[in-house]
Structure 1
Amino acid sequence: MLLTLAIFGFGASAKSQVANGTKVPDFELKDQDGRNFKLSDALAKGPVVVYFYPKDDTPGCTKEACSFRDSFEQFKDEGVQVVGISADDVASHKKFAEKYKLPFTLLSDEDNKVRKLFGVPKTMMMPGRVTYVLDKNGVVVHQFNSMTKAEQHVEEAIAAVKKM
């Protein structure tokens, strides 16, 4: 029973997931160009959508990234930055962004430090897929967690942004 719970990602990690109404801690990671990205610097410019995904250039993650790409102008028009985070390295992110012409920031969280900071749960031993919409103060106003509904992450984020 405990093994089953661990495999499917239930348990302690889900309890510590950042909740709506919570101010997220600041963090700094390298982007796909090797530059430092600091959340507080991004928030100084306005709201931010932070989405965690399992792996570059895999079917679900590509579908999700391309959906964010295709809706990018809607976020931009609302003054919202989009940031994707996975454990892939900078070079992998660069290749992924170029291959699919992704106009937003991808961050390398190789040691899963930021994933753990947000409490993103694992699903079936894989890193989870969770999207957070942060207001300009860094407070979570909406979150969506689904491994299988990759494109719905974008729909949920747009709806939340329009309510801000």
Structure 2
Amino acid sequence: MKILIILGILGLVALLLASFLAPSDKIPKIGETAPDFKLPDQQGKVYTLEDFRGQWLVLYFYPKDDTPGCTEQACKFRDDLHQLTVLGARVVGVSVDDRNSHAKFAKKYALPFPLLADEGGEVAARYGVLQNLGVVKMARRYTFLIDPQAKIRKVYDKVETSRHSKEIVEDLTRLLADMKA
């Protein structure tokens, strides 16, 4: 009897994890207009999608400030920011952490780009990347490369934090070359 109860509990946990980790059908597709947002950064400045109109936007969602993978990803973006800027791109991070958490994270690692506080998870939900288990909410690690007309040009759903920013530099370089050809 105990084994049946344990197996039932394990089955329920597996179902919850599967739904927790499964990609959402709400994730914007390539060619669609990026969902709008209006969120404060670590300094309290409010940003909207319109603020980035006319330039490329690397909008990356991440689970939690100051955790190993998120720190590696943010620092790689910091280190490659010049290359991205030369290509006409801005980098913006989004998580459900609050402004104070973002401010500490940005200061600790000298992150020179906005980290937007999506405390309620509404923007992460609009982008289809919100993980919600009731009490715990966080963004899945996804990146959206958005063109100057606010169209999604690339969706990164399998992010390797150690080389993700380089991958974006390569992809943006290729996209820009294709547009000139």
Fold shared by both chains (TM-score > 0.5): yes
Pick the structure with more helix per residue: 2
TM-superposed deviation, 1:2: 6.7
TM-superposed deviation, 1:122: 3.5
Matched, 1:50 2:67: no
Q: How many residues align?
A: 161
- 2-side partners of 1:142 and 1:123: how far apart? 24
Specify which structure has the bigger relative contact order, considering alpha-carbon pairs within 8 angstroms and separated by 6 or more residues: 1
- Residues 49-88 of structure 1, C-alpha deviation per residue, up to 9 Å, x if partnerless? 0000000000000000001001000111111100000011
Q: Kindly report which structure 2 residues correspond to 1:27-42, keeping only aligned pairs within 5 A, or say none.
A: 27-42=37-52
Which residue, out of 21, 31, 46, partners 1:21? Answer: 31
> Which of the two has higher C-alpha Rg?
2
CA contact (8 A) 1:7 1:123 kept: no
TM-superposed deviation, 1:22: 1.1
- The 4+ residue runs of structure 1 with deviation greater than 6 A are none
Find the counterpart in structure 2 of residue 119 from structure 1: 128
TM-superposed deviation, 1:121: 5.3
Moved more, 94-103 or 117-126: 117-126
TM-superposed deviation, 1:156: 2.6
Structure 2 letter corresponding to 1:154: S
Which residue, out of 117, 120, 144, partners 1:108? Answer: 117
What is the SS of the residue equivalent to 2:150?
coil
CA RMSD of aligned residues (A): 2.1
TM-superposed deviation, 1:160: 2.2
- 2-side partners of 1:108 and 1:10: how far apart? 22
- 2-side partners of 1:10 and 1:71: how far apart? 29
- 2-side partners of 1:79 and 1:54: how far apart? 26
Structure 2 letter corresponding to 1:105: P
| Percent identity between the two aligned chains | 38
- 1-side partners of 2:119 and 2:130: how far apart? 16
Identify unmatched segments of 5+ residues in structure 1: none
Find the counterpart in structure 2 of residue 159 from structure 1: 170
Which residue, out of 116, 136, 139, partners 2:151? Answer: 139
CA contact (8 A) 1:55 1:88 kept: yes
TM-superposed deviation, 1:154: 1.4
- 1-side partners of 2:66 and 2:35: how far apart? 28
- 2-side partners of 1:98 and 1:159: how far apart? 28
What is the SS of the residue equivalent to 2:155?
strand
- 1-side partners of 2:80 and 2:97: how far apart? 23
